[in-house]
Amino acid sequence: SLGLVAPAEAQTYPTRSITTIVPFAAGGPTDVVARIITAHMAQTLGQSIIIENVVGAGGTTATTRAARAANDGYTLITGHMGTHAASVPLYPKLAYHPEKDFEPIALLAGTPILILARRDFPPKDLNEFVTYVKANTEKLNAAHAGVGSVSHVSCELLHSILDIKPVGVPFNGTGPAMNALVAGQVDYMCDQIVNAVPQINAGTIKAYAIATPERNPSLPNVPTTVEAGLPKFQAQAWNAMFAPKGTSPAIVASLNAAAAKALDDETVRKRLLELGSVIPGPAERTPEALATLVKNEIAKWTPVLKPAT
């Protein structure tokens, strides 16, 4: 009988490829996390997932585009702590609201923040770094991925603890910012671990500390900020998938199930852990948990960050 037939949409979705917008340059942390997880989700869903890198304005250009996209399950966004929380206080004229304009799908990864520098930056450890940046503030170039990006707000927090205001050098993502750091064109950066592990292991950059209470298994030799003498600097970002508001609950459920399955896959987990990510547990993967995270993160960052304009 008709009563037993599931909605046509849920039965057939997806019937064509899905696009997820990444609000930063290819090769950076958001792009890397999105690629690892969506490759597995595509297998589950039986359709390819195309990554579209849309850069600019600390990720808010892309997030505005995603908010305005059709809510049919074929355009998604892989956002993060910046696009879906810190941008709210920083951009008074933000054209979207993370809570009102999106359906949360799933948290994908936690990404601890590290204080990184070009290989030949003079300070040898975090104590020397603190002394050096206080003494040379006007000369410093701190790279970031645009106002409201994770690298920007993480270093804003660091700078407020150190009571300094160095000049920031914006890039379209910390992928290109990392290239500049490796090339010695900028001095330091507060970046997500997934972007840093390969470079730290290759010895092309310096890592002063990881801003988490415990060391990360992917970087056993990098001290925590607690060990290195700056315990107040604690920072971990997160990456998550969202759909435009009004996307049907059946589609959200199907995407959430595919994301959860990816996070349980051994190969996906191994890759994420090699890059230092924190993999969300089952209770943290629900759309409801992501909605709560976004709400709490907006509340957390609003008093810390002043408008940029």
Candidates 25-33, 198-206, 223-231, 299-307 — which segment interacts with ligand MLT by CB under 6 A? 25-33
Q: How far apart are the C-alpha atoms of 128 and 235, rounded to whole Å?
A: 20
**DSSP conformation class of 34:** H
Closest CA to 248 of 46, 114, 131, 105: 105
Q: Binding ligand MLT by CB under 6 A: which of 13, 20, 31, 107? A: 31
Q: Does 174 bind ligand MLT (CB under 6 A)?
A: yes
Q: How far apart are the C-alpha atoms of 90 and 305, rounded to whole Å?
A: 6
Q: Does 28 bind ligand MLT (CB under 6 A)?
A: yes
Report the residue number, 160 or 286, with the smaller CB distance to ligand MLT.
Answer: 160
Site for ligand MLT in 176-205 (CB under 6 A): 192
Joined together, the tokens standing for residue 24 give 């930063």
Report the residue number, 13 or 84, with the smaller CB distance to ligand MLT.
Answer: 84
Strand partners, 19: 50, 75
Q: Does 236 bind ligand MLT (CB under 6 A)?
A: no
Candidates 134-142, 169-177, 272-280, 281-289 — which segment interacts with ligand MLT by CB under 6 A? 169-177
Task: Note if the bond before 14 is cis, omega within 30 degrees.
Answer: yes
Report the nearest approach of ligand MLT to the CB of residue 254 (Å).
26
Report the nearest approach of ligand MLT to the CB of residue 173 (Å).
3
Q: Binding ligand MLT by CB under 6 A: which of 79, 98, 123, 173? A: 173
Candidates 22-30, 64-72, 90-98, 242-250 — which segment interacts with ligand MLT by CB under 6 A? 22-30
Report the residue number, 170 or 223, with the smaller CB distance to ligand MLT.
Answer: 170
DSSP 71-101: SSSSEEEEEETIIIIIHHHH-TT-S--TTTS
Q: Does 98 bind ligand MLT (CB under 6 A)?
A: no
Residue 203 DSSP SS3: coil
Q: Does 24 bind ligand MLT (CB under 6 A)?
A: yes
Q: How far apart are the C-alpha atoms of 144 and 166, rounded to whole Å?
A: 12
Number of residues that bind ligand MLT (CB under 6 A): 16
Closest CA to 75 of 245, 207, 264: 245
Check the CA dihedral 158-63-196-266 and report its sign.
positive
Q: Does 30 bind ligand MLT (CB under 6 A)?
A: yes
Rg from Cα positions in the chain = 19
Binding mask 138-167 for ligand MLT (x = CB under 6 A): -------x---xxx----------------
Closest CA to 67 of 290, 239, 294, 246: 246
Burial (CB count <10 Å: 0-12, 13-18, 19+), residue 31: buried
Binding mask 63-92 for ligand MLT (x = CB under 6 A): -----------------x-x----------
Amino acid identity, position 297: E
Q: Does 61 bind ligand MLT (CB under 6 A)?
A: no
Residues that bind ligand MLT (CB under 6 A): 24-25, 28-31, 80, 82, 145, 149-151, 173-175, 192
